[in-house]
Amino acid sequence: MTSRRLDDRYAVTDKFVTNTGIRAAAQRRVSPVVWNYLECGTGDEVTLRANGRVFDDLVFDTPLFAGISNPDTSTRFLGHDLSFPALIAPFGGGEHLLDGAGHLATGRAARDIGIRQIVPVAAAHSLEDIAAASGVAQMFQITFVGDPGAVLDMIARAKAAGCEQVVATYSPILQWRERIIEDRFSFRSGDVDANFGPGKSDPAMLREQLEFSRPRWGWAEAAEVIGKSPLPVIVKGVLTPEDVHRSLGAGAAGLYVSNYGGRSIDRMTPALSALAEVRAAAGPDVPVIFDSGIRRGSDIAAALALGADVVALGRAVGYGLAADGEAGARRVLEILRREFWTTLGHLGCSSVADLGPQVFLGR
């Protein structure tokens, strides 16, 4: 029988032991241009920094003699058991630049750790190939743009490939991402178009998404598509009670609190600052995903305590993919889960259900 170490924080046989180390390795491994693509925010990157600062400003209450031994990190979300309350966020195009296997690799990492991923519409691998690579039910992110019938056809395609929910995104106009403008960065054929072309979906939809060649939808079009969608629709980018009510009024099955990791427009609300208000407006039963700024297990605990059911991981998983492909993505998830576990224990929580506002000092 092999003896197991009680404390495996210093597991020297592992290539990476912290996510800080993984991020540093990622930066060494990719070109400065790809690094800027992954890291960039918009404008002065005020929102990007604020997404992290709001977590820095939280103060936990750590009760003495709470009697916790081995907290249970698992949860259930949209009918699936997750080993910890996380999903992999969609990062379209970028995933391929970080590692050629892109979302094929992150999907397998998610499966191995026992979570799910959200597959982006603009990707280097088709949604069918990504679904087949991991064999687990995924979610599919689609931009609501262009011809509503084409969007519905694509949702039907995602359903046929085994996706169970759709994450609807809205992108009003091209973003001002200075780092990549300076780098003259642009996508090449193969980076984002795997879902389009003969036998797949109409490339016009991708062009409309990336080139902003047609007027964007209003709530009337969004509600019509949500109403006809063969899959439940979760609306991403909800940051205010008004958009909670509009989304639910349009028939959304869930909400996704996000400012896209500070990549849409600068000086938006840090996503975490919006979370409690969104949960209050939505009520206790609406599924809520949170992202933007999650880097640590303690961040996951904070987001759940403020009302999220699960978090989504963007750059955090991107660092793993860039540092060591599929193994790197898997390692990021393992480390996050371990950090989340230790956070639960220190907060006096024996399970995810125990997380609430009481974990913060003075609440």
Ligand X SMILES: Cc1cc2nc3c(=O)[nH]c(=O)nc-3n(C[C@H](O)[C@H](O)[C@H](O)COP(=O)(O)O)c2cc1C
Rule CB under 6 A: which residues touch ligand X? 38, 51, 89-92, 94, 120, 122, 141, 169, 236, 258, 260-261, 263, 291-294, 313-316, 318
Taking the least distance from each CB to ligand X, the nearer of 179 and 330 is: 179
Q: How many CB atoms lie within 10 A of CB 188?
A: 10
Least separation in angstroms between CB 348 and ligand X: 27
Least separation in angstroms between CB 359 and ligand X: 21
Structure tokens that stand for 208 in this block: 């409309």
Taking the least distance from each CB to ligand X, the nearer of 77 and 348 is: 77
95-134 per-residue burial string, b: 16 or more CB within 10 A, e: under 16: bbbbbebbbbbbbbbbbbbbbbbbbbbbbbbbbbbbbebb
Alpha helical stretches, state H, 10-126 = 19-29, 32-39, 46-56, 94-98, 102-113
Taking the least distance from each CB to ligand X, the nearer of 244 and 336 is: 336
Q: How many CB atoms lie within 10 A of CB 170?
A: 15
Least separation in angstroms between CB 179 and ligand X: 12
Taking the least distance from each CB to ligand X, the nearer of 38 and 359 is: 38
Least separation in angstroms between CB 93 and ligand X: 6
Least separation in angstroms between CB 197 and ligand X: 18
Structure tokens that stand for 99 in this block: 């590692």
- How far apart CA 10 and CA 1 sit, in angstroms, is 21
Contact (Cβ atoms closer than 8 angstroms) between residue 241 and residue 194: no
Structure tokens that stand for 299 in this block: 């961040």
Least separation in angstroms between CB 127 and ligand X: 13
Q: What is the C-alpha R_g of the chain?
A: 20
Sign of torsion, CA 216 96 260 72? Answer: positive
CB proximity list for 108: less than 8 A, separation 6 or greater: 133, 134, 326, 330
Which residue in this structure is represented by tokens 């982006």?
120
Q: Which residue is nearest to ligand X (CB)?
A: 314
Taking the least distance from each CB to ligand X, the nearer of 11 and 181 is: 181
Least separation in angstroms between CB 261 and ligand X: 3
Least separation in angstroms between CB 10 and ligand X: 27
* Length, in residues, of the chain: 363
Taking the least distance from each CB to ligand X, the nearer of 77 and 346 is: 77
Taking the least distance from each CB to ligand X, the nearer of 141 and 346 is: 141
Taking the least distance from each CB to ligand X, the nearer of 293 and 348 is: 293
